[in-house]
Amino acid sequence: MDFGAPAELASFFGGRARRLACPAVSELRGDLMALDLGELPFVARRVFAVTHAPAGTVRGGHAHRSGQQLLVCLQGRIEVRIRAAGETQRVVLTPGAAGLLIGPGVWCSQTYLEDGAVLLALASDPYDPGSYVDEPPDAE
């Protein structure tokens, strides 16, 4: 199967955050989503998943000084709130839909809208809480 390169979709904050298609194939045996890491705009140095977050849970709540992340919903629905340059956007991630590529300096939080929602994150940098910016730019 050739999934091709991920297509870019809607972008925010002058391209500092953007939707990135994560092609999927559905069939009787299940759904298959493939990510060609060579097609990402960064080298993935860390991968993590958030599971078992009860509905209504909010996670994240920071920006990264230099790193990039791709957020992909594998199950359920997750609302991602991003903020940069005094502007806020909300994007709902669902399985089989586009992921969200978040660049440096873009503040981000995730709200798990359903029990059992699963978030997969691919990050350009190793874990370093010292690289976090906790307050959103131009906080509301």
Any domain includes 4: no
Residue 119 parent element (H or E) = strand 118-123
**pLDDT tens per residue across span 58-117:** 999 999 999 999 999 999 999 999 999 889 999 999 998 889 999 999 999 999 999 999
Any domain includes 46: yes
**pLDDT tens per residue across span 6-62:** 444 688 998 899 998 887 888 899 888 888 888 889 999 999 999 999 999 999 999
Any domain includes 98: yes
Any domain includes 138: no
Any domain includes 92: yes
- CATH number of the domain enclosing 35: 2.60.120.10
Contact (CB, 8 A) for 22 and 98: yes
Any domain includes 1: no
Total domains, the chain: 1
DSSP letter at 6 equals P
Contact (CB, 8 A) for 10 and 19: yes
Any domain includes 35: yes
Residue 134 confidence class, pLDDT cut points 50, 70, 90: confident
Q: 0.95 exceeded by the pTM?
A: no
Any domain includes 43: yes
Q: Which residue has the higher pLDDT, 137 or 135?
A: 135
73: containing domain: 17-133
Q: 13: which residues sit within 8 A by CB, 6+ positions away?
A: 82, 84, 85, 87, 89, 106
Q: Within 13 Å of residue 136, how many CA atoms lie on the same side as its CB?
A: 17
